[in-house]
């Protein structure tokens, strides 16, 4: 088990976790938060419809298209992207407030948004989560039972594009074995 060691305890940091849909980003983040409760998980805003059990302000901030456009115009988003027909973005104020308080802030976001963070917050450390194989990614998408066949096909096509840019990120972690991937992620966050 990795122990939290931060060489600069009063200095916050932004850690961006990204990868294609279905790769297990959410599973890794939940496991990380269970082990390290001092982490701050940024809540994204989206225009997509809530899934079963998702609560506004906990899973996401669910906004209308008009509200999201207003946030963009007001500069209230650290990054934003359109993905699979919906908008996703990171509210800037909450992230910057936590970092200024010395917290490690995690962003679990899609690849397009993660690429934008490099420009809007250059000090961010970015990690790309990879599937063991394209076949395993397809298996995971089909067996989570959340998307239509058309949505799965769209996500798989998008995943090919996203995997092609994984080298742009500070680190790549293959999510084949959850415990191993979790250890690698914790090491990435707190490496000196």
Q: Quick one: pLDDT band at residue 191, thresholds 50, 70, 90?
A: confident
Mean pLDDT for the stretch of residues 116-129 = 93
For the chain, the straight-line distance linking the first and the last C-alpha, in angstroms and rounded, comes to 17
Residue 4 in any domain: the answer is no
Q: Which helix (H) or strand (E) holds 120?
A: helix 111-120
Mean pLDDT for the stretch of residues 115-127 = 92
Residue 76 in any domain: the answer is yes
pLDDT value at position 7? 39
The number of folded domains in the chain is 1
Residue 1 in any domain: the answer is no
Q: How far apart are CA 11 and CA 5, in angstroms?
A: 12
Mean pLDDT for the stretch of residues 119-129 = 93
Residue 146 in any domain: the answer is yes
Least confident of 5-9, 70-74, 132-136, 150-154: 5-9
Q: How far apart are CA 13 and CA 99, in angstroms?
A: 6
Q: How far apart are CA 169 and CA 136, in angstroms?
A: 22
CATH of the domain at 165: 3.40.50.300
pLDDT value at position 120? 86
Q: Three-class SS of residue 132?
A: coil
Q: Which domain holds residue 173?
A: 13-190
Give tens-digit pLDDT for 78-93: 999 887 789 989 999 8
Residue 64 in any domain: the answer is yes
Least confident of 2-11, 19-28, 170-179: 2-11
Mean pLDDT for the stretch of residues 4-14 = 61
Q: Is the pLDDT of residue 3 over 50?
A: no
Residue 82 in any domain: the answer is yes
Q: How far apart are CA 58 and CA 54, in angstroms?
A: 7
Q: Is the pLDDT of residue 5 over 70?
A: no
Residue 3 in any domain: the answer is no
pLDDT value at position 10? 55
- Rounded alpha-carbon distances, angstroms, from residue 145 to 24, 35, 84, 108: 14, 28, 17, 21
Mean pLDDT for the stretch of residues 28-32 = 96
Q: How far apart are CA 19 and CA 62, in angstroms?
A: 22
Q: Quick one: pLDDT band at residue 4, thresholds 50, 70, 90?
A: very low
Q: Is the pLDDT of residue 16 over 80?
A: yes
Residue 7 in any domain: the answer is no
């Amino acid at each position: 088990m990795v122990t939290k060691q931060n060489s600069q305890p009063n200095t916050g940091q932004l850690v961006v976790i990204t990868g294609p849909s279905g790769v297990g980003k959410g599973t890794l983040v939940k496991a990380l938060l269970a082990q390290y409760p001092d982490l701050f998980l940024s809540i994204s805003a989206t225009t997509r419809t809530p899934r079963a059990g998702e609560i506004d302000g906990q899973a996401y901030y669910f906004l209308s298209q008009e509200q999201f456009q207003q946030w963009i115009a007001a500069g209230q988003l650290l990054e934003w992207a359109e993905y699979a027909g919906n908008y996703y973005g990171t509210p800037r104020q909450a992230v910057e407030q936590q970092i200024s308080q010395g917290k490690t802030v995690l962003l679990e976001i899609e690849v397009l948004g993660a690429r934008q963070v490099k420009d809007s917050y250059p000090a961010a450390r970015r990690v790309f989560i990879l599937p063991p194989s394209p076949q395993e990614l397809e298996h995971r998408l089909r067996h989570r039972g959340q998307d239509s066949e058309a949505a799965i096909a769209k996500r798989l096509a998008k995943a090919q594009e996203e995997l092609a840019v994984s080298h742009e990120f500070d680190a790549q972690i293959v999510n084949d074995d959850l415990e191993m991937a979790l250890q690698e992620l914790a090491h990435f966050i707190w490496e000196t």
